Amino acid sequence: EAAEKGGYDHFMIKEICEQPKAIRDTLKGRLDLEKKKVVLKEIGLDKEAIERIDRIFITACGTAYHAGLVGKYVIERMVQIPVEVDIASEFRYRDPLITENSLVIVISQSGETADTLAALRMAQKKGARVLAITNVVGSSVAREADDVIYTWAGPEIAVASTKAYVTQLIAIYLLSCYLGQLRGTVSGEQLEEIIEALVRLPGQAEAVLKQQTQIREMARRWAKWEDAFFIGRSLDYAVAMEGQLKLKEISYIHAEAYAAGELKHGTLALIVEGVPVIVLATQKEVYEKTISNLQEVKARGAYITAVAFESDQEIGKLVEETIYIPDTISLVAPVLTVIPLQLLAYYAAVERGSDVDKPRNLAKSVTVE
Ligand code: G6P
């Protein structure tokens, strides 16, 4: 096992560090840099079938579900089709309004999760076409879906998913560009901007990983916490969901994610002197709104850690500590903002002496209901 870990203490940190490569591998062969287009040869859906889609459902469990939350924002923005996201164990029993014109996207690292597989079968029974995003070639989900986009993260061993998540995001960006191209809902300029941003991501992910020493230092403080709150708006909220799950599942610190604007409807009552709040602030359209939410928790004495773009000159002055990520477009920021959250969860768990790769009560692949 030591050899498989390649010199790292745990599979989880090895897999976090493999993310630049996983992103690069998942993009490989799927971008036409000359024509500024996305090429997804594996998808059998033709232009006519794509034009018929009037509703998209995304369903998954755990971390893959959190990738689906990002998917809703990105697909609605780029493809202009309403998207619903559901946890597979809910979706399969709630009799969703699926028709032959629905596209159901299932996301699963392992391709073997029982609830996700059942959701896939139910959707097909109702006549929908199912597209799977999965990391395991030949898995049950891959075999049964009508279309498959593979993520090329390589084997993920740690129970807490990291590199699979970022590649699921990449698959979502690629799919959104592809559907947008065919439906004519994204302009050539937008496509060019997104493709350029995608190409820069592996190098930018490397840059985030270089801050490990600083993040490890921060995690020493985090390790002492018993509760933490993650807040953000729009795509930052979706990443906050993944950040809190990482922290909970391996460090056993209680954590919750909130849409920043929702705090005032209840949770703000829990924000008192010294309560840790992680604020994600990378979404341009709602930046000012997020900062005013930050001010609300600051006024109540929260201990604030911000995750923001390098070019953000202001946020650092308002908070206790800031983790900077390289500048990019808001749409792809989740790929970078999640990395410091993974690292913080990892180092806090190590500091607390948890069994990082095999957290209590959890399994890598949940093949029974
Ligand atoms: C388990 C794992 C999670 C994972 C979830 C869904 O709970 O511990 O890390 O996100 O299953 O797994 P899947 O293989 O379907 O993505």
Ligand 1 centroid distance, CA of 209 (Å): 24
pLDDT at res. 34:
95
Ligand 1 centroid distance, CA of 233 (Å): 25
Instruction: Report the percent of the chain where pLDDT is more than 70.
Output: 100
For residue range 1-47, what is the model confidence (pLDDT) as tens digits?
A: 777 898 999 999 999 999 999 999 999 999 999 999 999 999 988 88
Ligand 1 centroid distance, CA of 112 (Å): 9
For residue range 72-106, what is the model confidence (pLDDT) as tens digits?
A: 999 999 999 999 999 999 999 999 999 999 999 99
Ligand 1 centroid distance, CA of 26 (Å): 19
pLDDT at res. 368:
85
Q: Which residues line ligand 1 (CB under 6 A)?
A: 61-64, 108-110, 113, 116, 159-161, 362, 364-366
Q: Round to the nearest angstrom and report the end-to-end CA distance of the chain.
A: 30
Integer Cα distance of 170 and 168 in angstroms:
5
pLDDT at 167 over 90: yes
pLDDT at res. 2:
75
pLDDT at res. 284:
96
Q: Given phi > 0 = left and psi -120 to 50 = alpha, else beta, which region is 184? A: left
State the complex-level ipTM.
0.98
pLDDT at res. 47:
87
Lookup result for tokens 């983790």: 323
Other Cβ atoms closer than 10 A to 157: 16
For residue range 331-346, what is the model confidence (pLDDT) as tens digits?
A: 999 999 999 999 999 9
Atom of ligand 1 nearest to the CA of 60: 15
Q: Which of 162, 58, 72, 45 is nearest to 107 (CA)?
A: 58
- Measured by CA distance, the residue closest to atom 5 of ligand 1 is 62
Average of per-residue pLDDT values in the chain: 96
Pocket test residue of 12, 16, 58, 109 for ligand 1, highest count of atoms within 8 A of CB: 109
pLDDT average, residue stretch 63-69: 98
Pocket test residue of 246, 365, 368, 369 for ligand 1, highest count of atoms within 8 A of CB: 365
Catalytic site includes residue 163: no
pLDDT average, residue stretch 156-170: 97
Pocket test residue of 12, 15, 61 for ligand 1, highest count of atoms within 8 A of CB: 61
Contact yes or no for 64/161 (Cβ under 8 A): yes
231, β-bridge pairs = 258, 279
Contact yes or no for 300/272 (Cβ under 8 A): yes
Contact yes or no for 356/260 (Cβ under 8 A): no
Integer Cα distance of 255 and 351 in angstroms:
17
What is the edge-to-edge ordering of all strands in the sheet holding 129-134?
83-87, 55-60, 102-108, 129-134, 147-150
